[in-house]
Amino acid sequence: DDVRSAEQALLYLVVDKSGSMYNNGLEAGVVEGLKEVKSLVSCVKERKNIQTAMTFFGTTLDMRPFQYGENIDISYEANEGETHLYDAIVKSANNMLYQYKEIGKANLVKGVMLIITDGAENGSQEYSESDVANVLEQLKEKEIPVLLASFEKADLSSFSKKFGYIQTVKFKNEHQLRAMMKFVTDHAMD
């Protein structure tokens, strides 16, 4: 409702909050990366052009709406048992597409989606592979890049093959994860 500039960049972070993120030592990297993202989108001169939304997924989805930097809630804890990756992707992509439609009526809009996980889908309740393929095709039509950042030890090769539009990037540790989050945030501001 409160669009501050005729040009808007939409940054969507979709982050795994399953307990394995904690067990693999990645929770601290996500927490620090989210702090850095908030700092970047709150302090840069383009801050009136950047809206950020987040979906934290595990057994449940915690969807946080698009907000300008100073208003985003970056609280995060990796403590859930499952990874409902399909549900998170479809609901987040639908949210992104809705925002594009609403803001795009009177503004120039671009976006990027970053999905961060250390494991594969293991329990989505609402959406299937075909739903994911369909929504990714819609993002592709809008030229919204989708990056899948996965922990180096996770084998998501079959996932990547199923959904060719997703660009997969591996990270080894929390430091590389933080750097990736900063890179994607910078990309949203270009």
Average pLDDT over residues 119-128: 90
The phi, psi pair for 147, rounded to 5°, reads: -110, 130
pTM: 0.90
Q: Which of 168, 136, 170 is nearest to 152 (CA)?
A: 170
CA–CA distance, 44 with 57 (Å, rounded to integer): 28
pLDDT given at position 189? 61
Quick check: 184 pLDDT over 90? no
Quick check: 86 pLDDT over 70? yes
| CB-CB contact of 81 with 19 (8 Å) | yes
Higher pLDDT, 168 or 114: 114
Coil, helix or strand at residue 52: strand
DSSP tally for the chain: helices H, then strands E: 6, 6
Higher pLDDT, 118 or 160: 118
Q: Residue 137's CB: how many other CB atoms inside 10 A?
A: 11
